[in-house]
Chains A and B, each alone.
Chain A
Amino acid sequence: MYLRVVDSKLMARSTEDLQSYLPPQFRARVFVGDPRDHGDDPDYRFTLANERTFLAWIRTSLALAAGGLGAVTILNDFPGEEVLGLGLLTLSFLTAATSYRRWAIIEKAMRLSQPLPPSKLPLLMGIGVGLVSVVAAILFAFGGAGG
């Protein structure tokens, strides 16, 4: 308990230091505070469901990174493999970078009994992975593998 209090204070101080260098509009958009500062504890099942959704996004991001690294490393005889790999890695980075913020916003909304805000990320993910697949199919069909 004592350790937890000390650690959260240290974490808060370093985050504040970092935030003081950034313009206020950017600060408000990127850094969401500790959701425990707002409202009351929701049903523990909701908290755990939110946690699992966050973890599912992190795994999606890691799977995209694995796909991207795999494309760059293994597909050496595949035309345009660099473009595919970098595309997947960029999608992966976007997913990882937004996942904590999304978790905190949802946790805060649940604590305040507010409606949960929708996310554009699933749509972006669908379009992004779809694009990568189409580009891969075109490169494979017209570029010829093994060349």
Chain B
Amino acid sequence: MSLSPWLAGRPHSRPGQVHDTMLQHERTALAWERTAFAAIVAGLLFIRFATALHPLLTLIGFAQVFFGGGLLIWAGYHYDELHGPLRAGQSPVHPRATRAVGWVTTGFIGGATLAATAAVILGL
């Protein structure tokens, strides 16, 4: 299946050259992707930890893994999307994305800390 019809229908198609010679945009996309990998790894470790406690607890880990996967896909898409606005001089600020990552990570780690504390106290 060809991806070209899908690519052609997007608001900002990929230009023939990169706008910024310091590749800030690309470095930022890679930072998002590294963060997504880290989220997936942390989720997998939590699943490994939670399996010994209660099967339902592993759902937190699975949610985190899926969140990381979604973030990875979004980061690649967003990188392509930003070529146009950056060239047009628009700000790439994205509070929704940072807020979502901040809150989800805080929630996941809060849950992991509570689960680990309970496991230690209950001697599991």
Where the two chains meet, the residues of A that have a C-beta atom closer than 8 Å to any C-beta of B are: 4, 7-8, 11, 34-36, 41-42, 44-45, 47-49, 51-52, 54-56, 58-59, 61-63, 65-66, 68-70, 72-73, 82, 85-86, 89-90, 92-93, 96-97, 99-100, 103-104, 107
Contacts and interface: CB of A to CB of B under 8 A. Distances in A.
A56 B92 CA distance: 18
A126 to B, nearest CB: 20
A56 B52 CA distance: 31
B22 A86 contact: no
Contacts of B105: 58, 61-62, 96, 99
A56 B67 CA distance: 18
Contact of B42 (A47, A52, A66): A66
B24 A49 contact: yes
B31 A73 contact: no
Interface in B48-75: 48-49, 52
Bin the interface of chain B by size.
Answer: 35 or more
B28 A52 contact: yes
B95 A69 contact: no
A52 B27 contact: yes
25 contacts: A4-B96, A7-B96, A35-B93, A44-B91, A47-B91, A47-B93, A48-B92, A51-B31, A54-B102, A55-B35, A62-B109, A65-B108, A65-B112, A66-B45, A68-B113, A69-B42, A69-B46, A72-B49, A86-B116, A89-B109, A89-B113, A92-B109, A96-B109, A97-B110, A100-B106
A133 B64 CA distance: 28
A74 to B, nearest CB: 9
Contacts of B95: 34-36, 104, 107
A4 B102 CA distance: 19
A44 B23 CA distance: 12
Most interface-central of A34, A69, A72, A96 (chain B CB within 10 A): A69
B42 A65 contact: yes
A86 B120 CA distance: 9
